Amino acid sequence: MLHLNIKDETSRLKAVLLGTAESCGPVPKPEEAYDPKSLEHILAGTYPKEVDMIQEMDAFSKVLQKHGVEVFRPEVLPDCNQIFSRDIAFVIENKLIKANILPDREKEFEAILHVLEYIAPEHILNAPEEVHVEGGDVMPWNEYIFIGTYTAKDYPDRITARTNKQAVDFISEQFPDKKIKSFELRKSTNARENALHLDCCFQPVGRNKAILHKNGFLVEEEYQWLVDFFGKENIFEITADEMYQMFSNVFSISPEVVVSEQHFTRLNNWLRAQGFTVEEVPYAEIAKQEGLLRCSTLPLVRE
């Protein structure tokens, strides 16, 4: 059995579901793109090749295994992009919550049923239909749960808006002992301004540090709350271009070990200066789909 346990973003990782790039299908048509960054690369003819993405995910998997993490993979579905396992479900404490994602991605959840067999059924929650939520917007952090959302009236018209007000309410009801802190994110069809998920503009690292991008937040007070919470001296503020490259979407194996993209020189130097061990992997091709290391993982058990 798997005893789910996720209370934060950085405690030592014991078990994780890592997505797969195998059989991810042909290059999507422009009208099939889920996000502005993928669309940009489809139109430019620079959309990533399956063989390159498989190599990148293998490199990530090897780093996880090197650190003693049990790595599960989804069943490979033909011609289906299954890289971003963070979107389909997420764990808070000992509960796995099935995300209500874009309807044509439903089969991605079915491809992880062999992993769910190790989890007691009463620990798997299905959100009601009106609850829209993706794991990239949900971050347990000790007594808090941070949630990225978008509550403006044009929510239904924005394909980049993934987590709604009903999701914030649902998570509050399921975890009454937690303090829920939600953040309005900037949604845009311009890939350089769009914060697709909370982890595209913010992520805690270590025990008390964070990576942050001010312009990802619609409400300055909410951004400022995070600055005050972590302390200015503990924050690595990224530029608009670094947000576009997904600098905040690294992944913590433990409070001391962070997996990062090999080209994130400025961030990786800062992390090392703070005393972190930085495991660098190539992930620039996968990044073209507006997702990176955190997006491709579904942590199941941390210490």
* pLDDT at residue 291, as a whole number: 87
102 falls in which pLDDT band (50, 70, 90)? low
One-letter identity of residue 270? W
Complete edge-to-edge strand list for the sheet that includes strand 277-281: 251-252, 257-261, 277-281
Of the chain, the percentage scoring pLDDT greater than 70 comes to 97
DSSP 41-90: HHHHT-PPPHHHHHHHHHHHHHHHHHTT-EEE-PPPPTT--B--GGGTEE
Q: Could you report the per-residue pLDDT of 34-82, keeping only the tens digit for each? A: 778 888 999 999 999 999 999 999 999 999 999 999 999 999 999 999 9
* pLDDT at residue 220, as a whole number: 96
Name, of 160-169, 186-195, 231-240, the range with top average pLDDT.
231-240
Indicate the burial class of 232 (C-beta count within 10 angstroms; 0-12, 13-18, 19 or more).
exposed
* pLDDT at residue 196, as a whole number: 79
